[in-house]
Chains A and B, each alone.
Chain A
Amino acid sequence: MGKYILRRILMMIPVIICVVFVVFMILRLSPNDPIRTVLGDMATQEEVDEMRDEMGLNDPLPTQFVSYIGKIVTKFDFGVSYVNRRPVLTEIKDRFPITLQLAIFSTLLAALIGIPLGMVSACHQYGLLDNASSVLALIFLAMPEFWFALMLIIVFTQKLGWLPASGWYGVEYMILPILATGMGCIAGIMRTTRSNMLEVIRQDYIRTARAKGLKENIIIGKHALRNALIPVVTLMGMQFGKMLGGVFVIETIFAIPGMGKLLVDACSIKNIPVVQGGVIFIAVIYGVVNLLIDIIYGFIDPRISSMYKGKKKEKRGEA
């Protein structure tokens, strides 16, 4: 398992280099001049050229790329924002924890509601609860995120006055954004859990367990759920990773100063250092999240861990 993890970590390095290269090239080769945008519409061409020199944007592309990578590797320096001259790393450090909270709580909410709902739906297939939750899931899947977020604000802030509509200053501020972000995931998790559960409870080993007289809750909760959850974990991991990149729409509507907002603002004015730094950071985080999912797999899917155990035994036999 240790070797597997190490190999996965090493595999991330070329992926990150590719991401850096692609983002770097796209930003450099896109037609308009970021410096013009930063300096404002009245800046003279001389002033624009001067700042381009200062930022090293007049160097050949390979030189720029090597210099950029060099600064990251040697000084962990991702450059400074063109706009407010703050270090990119400081910007990310300020923003990422907020997005991380939003992602964790939204994923937890989705799992805590979606998995039990999916289980119950599968166990009472075509029952009232199954039909009701399937219809609800379809509604949530079809509903645009921004519309749902605005509806939440209108109902809970404007009409009822129970919760604040913007900011990220405490528990009461988190409820609406987490609901808005989690709702779409709940539907996906619930439907995936349901379909996998239906598949698993028709397996022979479940029939055997029932024949042995095991209690239904043990059969479902212990034997069936564990196998049914494997694809659900994949889905949750993917959704969590996606959220860590910033839930732009939600962050904008609820004025949450997270990664998504940072990156979109940066993209809109071609703030190259922030876009590059942010995308690299997200690529690393996404890789780490995927690695963690694969490790969790090893624990919830005995077939994976036994594969490694088997290899170990073979090696011992050879020795």
Chain B
Amino acid sequence: MKKKLVCILTAMAMVLSLAACGGKEKSETDSSKEAGQDTLTVAVSMEPAALIPYESNDTGTSYICSQIYEKLLTADSDMNLQPGLAESWEVIDDTHYRFKLRDDVYFHNGEKLTADDVLYTFEKCVESSATSSTIGPVDIANSKVEDENTVVLALSSPYPAFLNCCAIDISGIVCKSAMEADPEGYAEKPIGTGPFKFVEWKSGDYIKMEANEKWWGGSLNFKTLMLRYIPEATTRAVEVQSGGVDVAQITVAEIETVEKEKDVTVLTQPILNTSFISYNCSVEPFNNVKVRQAISLAIDSDAIVEAANYGLAETAKSFLPPMVEGYYEAESEYQGYDVEKAKKLLAEAGYPDGFSCTLISNARQAEAEMIQAYLSEIGIEVKLNITDFSNWLDALVNGKQEMYIGGWTIPSGDMSEAFGAFDSNEFGSGGNRSFYANEEADALIEVINSEMDKDARNKAGEDLQKLLADECVTVGLNVGSRFYAYRNNVSGLVILPTQSPDFTKVKFTE
């Protein structure tokens, strides 16, 4: 009897274990191994939150959606706009844009792309809380379909960044009829017009796609795209070194090790992102410009960026990333590293002995500790609160922070998307987490947001960047970069400044 029970329990354990064995998964990866050159396996760090472009604005979602869906326009590696699903476009006036669609585009379900799909997608973008603030003031009621391949999109007010918004991944065009017929099914098995067709998403593990043989852009050089979710950066680096994956997102910390591998090449792509130190400018002592100027002079940004990024990143000299049109490196006497001048300014501000404050940051421990050390030199005692994204965001949106380390990404590549961070009408959730209020800045931001004349707009951008440099609302840390390691038998890999990859030109060489 006892032996029987032991046998039964053992058998149960084995059966459970075998039942748990995903035979399907095994075949998936085995097939990728066997397929060899037919499968591109990419190790990525984050999963998507959704498979529909307008449902989420997180990087993971954009990454996947950029493979499945396409936009009216695309931005190339230099952020110049190129035709996408729209073969041409015309600015009718400040608030009306006409797009002429390609005639040879079909969704993955075989349906032809029409202007109705475009209008429907923009309507969804406007309705979605994740994308409405990014897509611009699109006026659906006054937009219209002129014919099967022509759509006119109307805006409720002039918006110079609108064409850029037509190239952001969140505006990927969805198939109206399929979405209306089965929205839940669509969310699980998305349908786009892009170079890759969705096959399967195994949560926490991988997303599998296959080449779209009917893609209007031509045929691809491989059949299957496997995006494997590997959260640990070291593991991703080892996988690409050992040939477990063909391409891997890596972090700056792995570069030196990976570069030693003769069969692997590292690709560095600057992205539309900058990191910075800032404050809640509505509370003491940070509402005092001299305090901010003192802090700016007390911190050696170049040294922090050098140390924290292994010498592989450049220091942000503006709130804008360098590749954004309107970028301007303003000269200011409050830039650079000058401890004595910083102490003097702090004394003038009424804090000769310094003060205490808290710095909140999501990760970035090394930078935070260095900032703490620099500021102790001028008598400012900084307590560190290194926390998770959720707590960090909650603090910033609700103005609970004193000092913080932040980052800003501009997917559209237009400066208007950045300067909301200093608009007094946009406190907290609007984007102004520094709670900075300045009438002159507001007026310049208004020009940037609505002026259609490029020169006048760029002049306003320049003036604003000068003002922000003198006001020391932020202290620049690094310009963002993405690092990829790929096997030497892979060629044609392109990573765009938006962080989305372009795998369409990838081919395997001997």
Binding site for B on A (CB under 8 A): 31-34, 36-45, 47-48, 50-51, 83-86, 91, 94-98, 100-101, 104-105, 150, 153-154, 157-158, 161, 164-170, 252-255, 257-258, 261-262, 265, 268-270, 292, 296, 299
26 contacts between A and B (CB under 8 A): A36-B390, A41-B397, A42-B57, A42-B134, A44-B129, A44-B429, A84-B49, A84-B50, A91-B203, A104-B13, A104-B17, A158-B241, A165-B235, A165-B239, A166-B232, A166-B236, A167-B205, A169-B29, A252-B232, A253-B234, A253-B235, A255-B229, A257-B202, A268-B389, A269-B390, A296-B9
- Interface residues of B toward A: which range? 35 or more
B57 close to A94 (CB less than 8 A): no
Give A67 to B2 CA distance when docked, in angstroms: 45
Q: Interface segment, B19-27, B111-119, B378-386, B446-454? A: B19-27
Q: Which residues of A contact B9 (CB under 8 A)?
A: 292, 296
Closest 9 CB pairs of A and B: A257-B204, A97-B20, A32-B394, A47-B129, A255-B230, A169-B29, A257-B205, A37-B390, A165-B238
Contact B230 A166 (CB under 8 A): yes
Chain A CB within 8 A of B290 CB: no
Nearest Cβ in chain B — how far from A293, in angstroms? 11
Q: Do the beta carbons of A33 and B394 come within 8 Å of each other? A: yes
Of A37, A100, A150, which is within 8 A of B389 by CB?
A: A37
- Residues 343-401 of B contacting A (Cβ, < 8 Å): 388-391, 393-397
Name the A residues within 8 Å of B130 (CB-CB). 39-40, 43
Q: Provide the B206-236 mask, 1 if CB < 8 A to any CB of A, else 0.
A: 0000000000000000000000111110111
Answer yes or no: B141 CB below 8 A from chain A CBs: no
Contact B133 A44 (CB under 8 A): yes
Contact between chains at B16 and A41 (CB < 8 Å): no
Q: Check if B30 is an interface residue, CB within 8 A of chain A.
A: yes
B391 surroundings in chain A (CB, below 8 A)? 31-32
Contact of A150 among B2, B6, B234, B236 (CB under 8 A): B234
In chain B, what residue has the closest Cβ to A160?
Answer: B242
A48-B429, A261-B231 given as contacts; is B394 within 8 A of A31 (CB)?
A: yes
Roughly how many angstroms separate A161 CA and B263 CA in the complex, as a whole number?
14
Residue B5 lies at the interface, judged by CB distance under 8 Å to chain A? yes
How far, in angstroms, from A86 to B278 measured CA to CA in the complex? 37
- For the complex formed, measure the closest distance between the CB of A36 and the CB atoms of chain B, giving whole angstroms: 6
* A154 to B239 CA separation, bound complex (whole angstroms): 10
Chain A residues, CB < 8 A from B158: none
Nearest B residue (CB) for A240: B13
Q: Are A94 and B394 in contact (CB under 8 A)?
A: no
**Apart from the given pairs A100-B20, A269-B390, 18 other A-B contacts in the complex at a CB distance below 8 Å:** A36-B390, A36-B394, A41-B396, A41-B431, A42-B134, A86-B203, A98-B22, A158-B241, A164-B242, A165-B239, A166-B244, A167-B29, A255-B230, A257-B203, A262-B204, A268-B389, A268-B390, A269-B389
Q: Please state if A97 and B2 are interface contacts (CB–CB under 8 Å).
A: no
Binding site for A on B (CB under 8 A): 2, 5-6, 9, 13, 16-17, 19-22, 25-26, 28-30, 43, 48-50, 56-58, 129-130, 132-134, 187, 202-205, 228-232, 234-236, 238-239, 241-244, 388-391, 393-397, 428-431
Shortest Cβ distance from A269 into B: residue: B390
Contact of A157 among B133, B202, B244, B388 (CB under 8 A): B244
Interface centre among A34, A83, A167, A168, by most B CB within 10 Å?
A167
With contact pairs A97-B22, A170-B29 given, residues A51 and B390 touching in the complex (Cβ less than 8 Å)? no
Shortest C-beta distance, B24 to chain A (Å), equals: 10
CA distance A156 to B9 in the complex (A): 34
Q: Which of B5, B21, B134, B428 meets A101, CB within 8 Å?
A: B21
B129 touches A51 (CB 8 A): yes
- CB-based contact B429/A169 at 8 Å: no
A43 to B133, CA, bound (A): 8
Q: Do A255 and B129 form a contact, CB below 8 Å, given A268-B388, A268-B389?
A: no
The complex places the Cα of A16 from the Cα of B229 at a distance, in Å, of 33
Q: How far is the CA of A27 from the CA of B229 in the complex (A)?
A: 27
Q: Of A45, A51, A94, A165, which is in contact with the most chain B CB atoms at under 10 Å from its CB?
A: A165
Asked if A168 contacts B25 (CB within 8 A), the reply is yes
A150 to B187, CA, bound (A): 37
Shortest Cβ gap from A9 to chain B (Å): 17
Residue from the list A39, A43, A83, A100 in contact with B16, Cβ < 8 A: A100
Most chain B beta carbons < 10 A, residue from A33, A37, A253 = A37
Complex CA gap A157/B56 in Å reads 36
Closest to A86 in B: B203
CA distance A101 to B238 in the complex (A): 24
Which residues of chain A are near B396, meaning CB under 8 Å?
41
Q: Considering the chains assembled together, what is the distance between the CA atoms of A262 and B231 in angstroms?
A: 12
**With A158-B241, A170-B29 as given contacts, are A94 and B203 in contact (CB-CB < 8 Å)?**
yes
Q: With A84-B49, A98-B20, A270-B390 in contact, is A299–B2 under 8 Å at CB?
A: yes
Given A86-B203, A91-B203; A166-B228 close (CB under 8 Å): yes
Q: Within the complex, what minimum Cβ distance (angstroms) separates B35 from chain A? A: 14
- For the complex formed, measure the closest distance between the CB of B165 and the CB atoms of chain A, giving whole angstroms: 13
Q: In the bound complex, what is the Cα–Cα distance between A303 and B73 (angstroms)? A: 78
CA distance A282 to B240 in the complex (A): 35
**Cβ contacts under 8 Å, B203 to chain A:** 84, 86, 91, 94-95, 257
Residues on B with C-beta less than 8 A from A166 are 43, 228, 230, 232, 235-236, 239, 244
- Residue of B with least CB distance to A108: B13
Give the residue of A34, A169, A254 whose beta carbon is less than 8 angstroms from that of B28: A169
Considering the complex, give the chain B residue whose CB is closest to the CB of A107.
B13
User: Separation in Å of the A1 CB from the closest CB of chain B?
Assistant: 11
Which residues from B are CB-within-8-Å of A167? 29, 205, 228
**A42–B429 contact, CB under 8 A?**
yes
Q: Is the CB of B21 within 8 A of A34?
A: no
CA distance in complex: A84, B52 (Å): 10
Give the residues in chain A near B236, CB-CB below 8 Å.
Answer: 166
**In the complex, A219→B9 CA distance in Å?**
26
A270 to B387, CA, bound (A): 13
Do A105 and B17 form a contact, CB below 8 Å, given A37-B389, A296-B9?
yes
CB < 8 Å: which of A41, A94, A270 contacts B204? A94
Report whether B228 and A255 are in contact in the complex, using a CB–CB cutoff of 8 Å. Answer: yes
Give CA–CA (A166, B19) in the complex, Å.
Answer: 21
Q: Name the residue of chain A whose CB is nearest to the CB of B134.
A: A42
Q: Provide the bound-state CA to CA distance between A296 and B9, in Å.
A: 9
Question: Which of B2, B26, B48, B133 meets A42, CB within 8 Å?
Answer: B133
Report the Cα distance A84→B56, complex, angstroms. 9
Closest chain A residue to B20, Cβ basis: A97
User: A255's closest neighbor in chain B, by CB?
Assistant: B230
Distance, CA A252 to CA B58, complexed state (A): 21
Q: Report which residue of A43, A166, A261 has the largest number of chain B beta carbons within 10 angstroms of its beta carbon.
A: A166
> Chain B contacts of A270 at CB under 8 A?
390
